[in-house]
């Protein structure tokens, strides 16, 4: 019930506001309320990230706080694109390497995290959920430290 404001909206995903997605004609449509769409937002706070066991604040084993639990990141899909996003989120310089190494005892895993490398936050990457890590290798990163 109520007015229908937009129809056949096509966003790329990089638009900062819905009204920037084509088409821009408010109130013109050829649909009914059975086609209404909705959105559930994940929240505005990015997940906290930390690096453990490294020589400084921009290197170490990657951990992400999700649902009040620190998760180790599985190294199976970990590479430079994911490391670039993490370094950017931490406020460090560019990623120098994205090795995998032994995991810490116990704990849960963040599995199958994949990024393009252009995201600002790990929250924008795919696969931000708990799972198992068949390789047992934990993601690590070495970012360039900023002065």
Q: Which pLDDT belongs to residue 47?
A: 63
Q: Which pLDDT belongs to residue 3?
A: 84
Q: Which pLDDT belongs to residue 131?
A: 85
H runs (alpha helix) in the chain: 80-90
Reported as type and span, the H/E element at residue 52 is strand 48-56
H runs (alpha helix) in 26-145: 80-90
Q: What is the dihedral of CA 141, 142, 144, 147, to 10 degrees?
A: 100
Domains in the chain with CATH codes: 1-39 (no CATH), 48-143 (3.10.250.10)
Region 44-70: mean pLDDT is 86
Flag whether pLDDT at 102 surpasses 90.
no
The pLDDT > 70 percentage for the chain reads 93
Checking 25-30 for CB contacts under 8 A at 24+ apart, the result is 27/3, 29/4, 29/5
pTM of the model: 0.67
> What contacts 68, CB < 8 A, 6 or more positions away?
none
Measured in Å, how far apart are the chain's first and last C-alpha atoms? 57
DSSP-derived secondary structure letter, 89: H
CB-based burial, 46-60: b 16+ in 10 Å, e otherwise? ebebebeeeeeebbb
**Contact status, residue 51 vs residue 60, Cβ threshold 8 Å:** yes
- pLDDT tens, 65-99? 887 888 899 999 999 999 999 999 999 999 999 99
CA proximity to 83, closest of 66, 100, 95: 95
Could you tell me the two tokens for 11?
Answer: 């966003």
């Amino acid at each position: 019930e109520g007015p229908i404001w937009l129809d056949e909206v096509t966003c790329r995903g990089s638009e900062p506001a819905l009204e920037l997605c084509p088409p821009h004609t408010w109130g013109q449509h050829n649909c009914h309320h059975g086609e209404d769409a909705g959105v559930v937002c994940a929240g505005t706070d990015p997940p906290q990230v930390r690096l453990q066991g490294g020589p400084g604040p921009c290197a170490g084993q990657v951990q992400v706080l999700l649902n009040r639990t620190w998760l180790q990141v599985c190294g199976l899909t970990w590479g430079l694109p994911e490391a670039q996003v993490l370094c950017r989120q931490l406020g460090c310089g560019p990623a120098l390497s994205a090795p995998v190494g032994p995991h810490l005892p116990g704990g849960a895993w963040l599995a199958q995290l994949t990024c393009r490398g252009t995201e600002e936050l790990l929250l924008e990457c795919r696969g931000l959920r708990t799972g198992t890590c068949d390789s047992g290798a934990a993601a690590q990163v070495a970012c360039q430290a900023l002065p």
